[in-house]
């Protein structure tokens, strides 16, 4: 029976259905008077544009130059501020280094070094730590916790325990004096030589700077400078000063970048270092996490998002940026233009960025442009009025009279045609030609059915819906559990769904498929029309497998992003359908209709019962069986049909399977299916269990078939007991089932 399915699909079910044809649809046309007016107006507009466009271009160039100069001044000021901050820290560090190196202050004198380190903290409000790391792992440092609270920490490293014993003295500022408040002892694993600033300082002979990081004590971004210390020719340790970068943000807050612009400092990784709004520099930390530098792309600040978009569009290549670079970026959402500028700071990979709306500079230019437009509109109105009067007198009225004569020719009222004279020679010659044509046609009226010609020329035939019968392959795809997911996520699911539909549609198109429609999360597509495709079934199978393979890759990415993971079920069927423009006079769809379409949709839903991903109908299998690997899944009865049909699970394409791949379990499964059809349920169960073992312990169709076999065994046992009891007592026990149904709905198992 299955071998005849494809032949049945190829058989002609009836005549082709075609739409009526008639007079072609009329094209858009414009009157002569309108044409002449348009020509005159366009000429005037072009003349005005010839003057205005160069002026506008020059004005914009001047604005760009002004913006470049303004950005140059701003960037220069920011560079000076950054360099001043670094110079201040390096100068203080050098002074501290020299005092210790020359023995002016003994690093081992607790009182003198405490007073020295605290004095440096008090000298600059931007110093967070002034510290010293010993080669043996010890540490001494003074910290500014805020403008009132200070502390001094002394650590001694115990190599035996691999722990540091830390003593911390706390101080409070009262006026101009610091007063001791308390001492706390603790142990930790702080080992100075493991610190980045220590390692960098010992690797070079001069001062070093670390990368920006968030201070654990203050929660603010900062940076360390460090310098190795030698006393009497021997390495004694590393001097370090940690500074908070909030000063740079406060400085940026004081400068004006146009009327609505902004400036910021970032590193080569795209992380913010300084911004007028200090809260924007750090991303919010979750429970148990430390705050981190916010990336430019993750900011919700509009101007920072403009800067990030300019970088992503490739307008500013950061990797090769060695000097100030200004570019213009248009925001696709608002259509506004922005001047975006980046310049190196001269410290590591730090960059200064500015974003200024072009409108900040073009206000006066736009005002002058509006005045010019008003003047141009007035000139155009005057010229248009003159064009109307001239065109009416010389062209429109004479031509309208000629149109009337031509209409008489169209209606074969040839005797009523007369010659119209005009002072415009071309119109006069055209009128004479129409008149001579009417005279010539008059000689042939006896050879034509005149009334019929009049009716045909007076009436046209509109296009009607229609199509043709063809053998195609249809695919339905739907997402499992999408309804529950939609109820839980609401409108937030739509961008995620759009990503899925885009990817699946692209894969279908690559494999020569035609997208029919989207039905919520479902996709309907078909192969073989409008472009003929002899391998439509193979192409559809390949597309389905590629879609599932692509969806598996996308699920990995979605899981990493915390997005829901979609799983699709696909049904494919082939057969003779009607394809074409189907619909009403107001709206037509290029689609397919027919029983094979309905079966494809039902096969998609049937995947749920068997735990499969792609199910194909018997016609598709017969067409593509030499190019695909599939297993006969079951025999089902379709609502409205008497015959039972085999359905198949599509597994792979023949040309993509490794030569070492083993699909021997397919034969075992189909043997079990045949045993099940012959009501030999126990051998069938053994076959299905073997399939599960061969597939690594999991095969949902086999599990489902085992469940059905056991239900049928239980049913037959129960039926035998009923029959025996009835024979003995002639009593029928009510409520016991006589058979177990194979399924519900439009498709059910026939085994």
- Give pLDDT tens digits for 355-410: 989 887 776 666 777 777 777 778 778 877 877 777 777 766 777 777 777 766 65
Q: Which has the minimum average pLDDT: 50-64, 466-480, 679-693, 714-728?
A: 714-728
Given a cut of 50, is residue 455 above it in pLDDT? no
Alpha-carbon distance 266 to 77, whole Å?
Answer: 16
What is the structure's pLDDT at 241? Answer: 93
Share of the chain above pLDDT 70, in %: 80
Alpha-carbon distance 618 to 4, whole Å?
Answer: 10
What is the structure's pLDDT at 729? Answer: 41
Three-state secondary structure call for residue 272 = strand
**What's the mean pLDDT when you consider all of the chain?**
80
Question: H or E element: which one contains 150?
Answer: strand 149-158
Question: H or E element: which one contains 172?
Answer: strand 163-174
**Burial (CB count <10 Å: 0-12, 13-18, 19+), residue 463:** middle
Residue 395 DSSP label:
I
What is the structure's pLDDT at 642? Answer: 67
CA distance between the termini of the chain? 16
Given a cut of 60, is residue 734 above it in pLDDT? no
What is the structure's pLDDT at 17? Answer: 44
* 748 — pLDDT class (breaks 50, 70, 90): low
CB 275 within 8 A of CB 298: no
More confident residue, 688 or 40: 688
Alpha-carbon distance 577 to 420, whole Å?
Answer: 59
More confident residue, 604 or 22: 604
Which backbone phi and psi does 688 adopt, to 5 degrees? -65, -40
What is the structure's pLDDT at 282? Answer: 85
Alpha-carbon distance 636 to 642, whole Å?
Answer: 11
CB 121 within 8 A of CB 87: no
What is the structure's pLDDT at 69? Answer: 80
Per-residue pLDDT tens digits for 96-126 = 999 998 888 888 898 998 999 998 888 888 8
| Cα–Cα nearest to 243, from 274, 267, 264, 269 | 274
| Cα–Cα nearest to 544, from 467, 604, 472 | 604
Per-residue pLDDT tens digits for 66-84 = 777 877 888 888 888 888 8
More confident residue, 729 or 205: 205
Per-residue pLDDT tens digits for 687-699 = 989 989 988 888 8
Contacts 24+ apart (CB under 8 A), 23-27: 23/460, 23/461, 25/463
What is the structure's pLDDT at 141? Answer: 93
Per-residue pLDDT tens digits for 320-332 = 778 888 888 888 8
What is the structure's pLDDT at 452? Answer: 32
| Cα–Cα nearest to 543, from 559, 557, 528 | 528
Given a cut of 70, is residue 724 above it in pLDDT? no
Alpha-carbon distance 510 to 518, whole Å?
Answer: 18
CB 435 within 8 A of CB 419: yes
Which backbone phi and psi does 413 adopt, to 5 degrees? -90, 65
Residue 67 DSSP label:
H
What is the structure's pLDDT at 222? Answer: 86
What is the structure's pLDDT at 707? Answer: 92
Per-residue pLDDT tens digits for 701-719 = 999 889 999 988 888 777 6
* 738 — pLDDT class (breaks 50, 70, 90): very low
Q: Which has the minimum average pLDDT: 361-365, 483-487, 540-544, 579-583?
A: 361-365
Of 43-47, 241-245, 539-543, 575-579, give the range with the top mean pLDDT.
539-543
Whether the CA torsion 79, 84, 86, 87 is positive or negative: it is positive
Alpha-carbon distance 491 to 494, whole Å?
Answer: 6
Q: What is the mean pLDDT of residues 487-516?
A: 89
Query: 496-525: buried (b, 16+ CB within 10 Å) or exposed (e) per residue?
Result: bbeebbeebbebbeebbbbebeeeebbbbb
Q: What is the mean pLDDT of residues 432-439?
A: 72
Given a cut of 90, is residue 312 above it in pLDDT? no
More confident residue, 751 or 152: 152
What is the structure's pLDDT at 19? Answer: 44
More confident residue, 344 or 581: 344
Q: Which has the minimum average pLDDT: 114-123, 265-274, 424-433?
A: 424-433
**Would residue 697 be called left, alpha or beta, if left means φ above 0 and alpha means ψ between -120 and 50 degrees?**
left
CB 349 within 8 A of CB 223: no
Within 10 Å of residue 168's Cβ, how many Cβ atoms?
16
Q: Which residues pair with 271 in a beta bridge?
A: 295
What is the structure's pLDDT at 12? Answer: 45
Alpha-carbon distance 114 to 273, whole Å?
Answer: 31
Alpha-carbon distance 432 to 426, whole Å?
Answer: 10
**Would residue 219 be called left, alpha or beta, if left means φ above 0 and alpha means ψ between -120 and 50 degrees?**
left
Three-state secondary structure call for residue 293 = strand
What is the structure's pLDDT at 23? Answer: 46
Given a cut of 70, is residue 749 above it in pLDDT? no
Q: What is the mean pLDDT of residues 206-226?
A: 85
| Cα–Cα nearest to 95, from 241, 197, 200 | 241
Given a cut of 90, is residue 629 above it in pLDDT? yes
| Cα–Cα nearest to 409, from 450, 459, 449 | 450
User: In this structure, what token pair is assigned to residue 281?
Assistant: 């520099």
Alpha-carbon distance 711 to 737, whole Å?
Answer: 12
Three-state secondary structure call for residue 648 = strand
Distances (CA, A) of 690 to 10, 661, 697: 39, 18, 9
What is the structure's pLDDT at 460? Answer: 38
What is the structure's pLDDT at 591? Answer: 85
Q: Which residues pair with 577 in a beta bridge?
A: 470
What is the structure's pLDDT at 6? Answer: 45
Per-residue pLDDT tens digits for 232-249 = 889 999 999 998 888 888
User: In this structure, what token pair is assigned to residue 556?
Assistant: 């990995």
pTM: 0.44
Per-residue pLDDT tens digits for 338-369 = 888 888 888 878 889 899 898 877 766 667 77
Per-residue pLDDT tens digits for 502-511 = 999 999 989 9
Per-residue pLDDT tens digits for 635-666 = 988 766 667 889 999 999 998 888 888 888 99
Q: What is the mean pLDDT of residues 251-278?
A: 87
What is the structure's pLDDT at 11? Answer: 43
Within 10 Å of residue 416's Cβ, how many Cβ atoms?
12
């Amino acid at each position: 029976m299955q071998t005849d399915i494809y032949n049945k699909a190829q058989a002609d079910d009836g005549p082709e259905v075609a739409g009526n044809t008639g007079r072609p649809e009329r094209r858009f046309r414009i009157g002569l008077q309108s044409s002449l007016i348009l020509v005159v107006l366009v000429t005037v507009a072009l003349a005005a544009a010839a003057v205005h466009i160069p002026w506008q271009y020059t004005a914009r160039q001047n604005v760009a130059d002004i913006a470049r100069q303004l950005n140059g001044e701003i960037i220069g000021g920011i560079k000076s501020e950054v360099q001043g901050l670094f110079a201040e820290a390096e100068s203080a560090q050098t002074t501290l280094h020299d005092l210790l190196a020359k023995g002016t202050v003994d690093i081992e004198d607790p009182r003198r070094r405490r007073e020295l380190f605290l004095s440096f903290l008090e000298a600059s409000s931007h110093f967070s730590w002034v510290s010293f790391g010993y080669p043996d792992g010890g540490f001494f440092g003074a910290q500014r916790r805020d403008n009132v609270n200070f502390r001094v920490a002394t650590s001694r490293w115990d190599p035996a325990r691999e722990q540091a014993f830390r003593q911390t003295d706390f101080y409070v500022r009262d006026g101009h004096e610091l007063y001791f408040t308390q001492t706390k002892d603790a142990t930790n694993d702080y080992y100075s030589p493991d610190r980045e600033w220590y390692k960098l300082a010992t690797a070079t002979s001069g001062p070093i700077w670390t990368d920006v990081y968030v201070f654990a004590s203050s929660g603010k971004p900062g940076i360390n400078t460090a310098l190795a210390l030698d006393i009497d020719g021997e390495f004694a340790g590393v001097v370090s000063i940690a500074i908070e970068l909030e000063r740079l943000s406060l400085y940026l807050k004081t400068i004006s970048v146009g009327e609505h612009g902004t400036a910021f400092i970032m590193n080569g990784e795209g992380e913010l270092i300084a911004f007028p709004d200090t809260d924007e520099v750090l991303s919010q930390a979750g429970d148990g996490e430390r705050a981190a530098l916010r990336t430019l792309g993750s900011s919700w600040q509009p101007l920072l998002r403009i800067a990030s978009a300019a970088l992503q569009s490739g307008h500013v290549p950061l990797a090769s940026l060695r000097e100030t670079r200004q570019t213009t970026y248009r925001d696709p959402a608002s259509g506004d233009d922005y001047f975006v500028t980046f310049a190196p700071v001269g410290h590591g990979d730090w960059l200064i960025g500015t974003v200024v709306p072009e409108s900040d500079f073009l206000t006066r230019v736009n005002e002058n442009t509006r005045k010019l437009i008003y003047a141009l509109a007035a000139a155009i109105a005057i010229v248009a009025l003159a064009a109307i009067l001239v065109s009416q007198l010389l062209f429109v009225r004479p031509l309208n009279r000629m149109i009337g004569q031509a209409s008489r020719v169209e209606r074969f009222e040839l005797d009523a045609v007369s010659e119209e004279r005009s002072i415009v020679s071309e119109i006069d010659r055209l009128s004479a030609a129409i008149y001579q044509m009417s005279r010539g046609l008059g000689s042939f009226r006896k050879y034509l059915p005149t009334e019929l010609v009049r009716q045909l020329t007076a009436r046209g035939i509109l296009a009607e819906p229609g199509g043709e019968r063809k053998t195609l392959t249809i695919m339905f795809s739907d997402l499992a559990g999408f309804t529950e997911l939609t109820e839980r996520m609401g409108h937030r699911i739509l961008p995620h769904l759009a990503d899925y539909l885009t990817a699946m549609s692209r894969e279908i198109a690559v494999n020569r498929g035609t997208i029919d429609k989207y039905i919520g999360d479902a996709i309907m597509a078909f192969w073989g029309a409008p472009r003929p495709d002899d391998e439509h079934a193979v192409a559809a199978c390949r597309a389905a497998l590629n879609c599932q393979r692509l969806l598996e890759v996308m699920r990995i990415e979605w899981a990493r992003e915390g997005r829901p993971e979609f799983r699709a079920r696909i049904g494919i069927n082939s057969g003779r359908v009607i394809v074409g423009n189907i619909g009403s006079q107001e709206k037509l769809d290029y689609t397919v209709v027919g029983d094979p379409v309905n079966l494809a949709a039902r096969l998609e839903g049937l995947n749920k019962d068997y735990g499969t991903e792609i199910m194909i109908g018997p016609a598709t299998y017969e067409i593509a069986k030499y190019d695909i690997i599939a297993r006969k899944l079951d025999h089902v009865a379709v609502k409205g049909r008497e015959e039972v049909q085999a359905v198949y699970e599509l597994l792979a394409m023949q040309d993509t399977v490794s030569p070492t791949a083993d699909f021997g379990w397919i034969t075992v499964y189909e043997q079990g299916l045949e045993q099940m059809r012959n009501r030999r349920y126990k051998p069938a169960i053994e076959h299905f269990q073997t399939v599960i073992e061969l597939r690594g312990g999991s095969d949902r169709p086999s599990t489902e078939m085992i469940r059905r076999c056991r239900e049928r065994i239980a049913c037959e046992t129960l039926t035998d007991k009923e029959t025996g009891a009835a024979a003995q007592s002639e009593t029928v026990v009510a409520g016991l089932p006589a058979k177990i149904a194979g399924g519900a709905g439009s498709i059910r198992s026939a085994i």
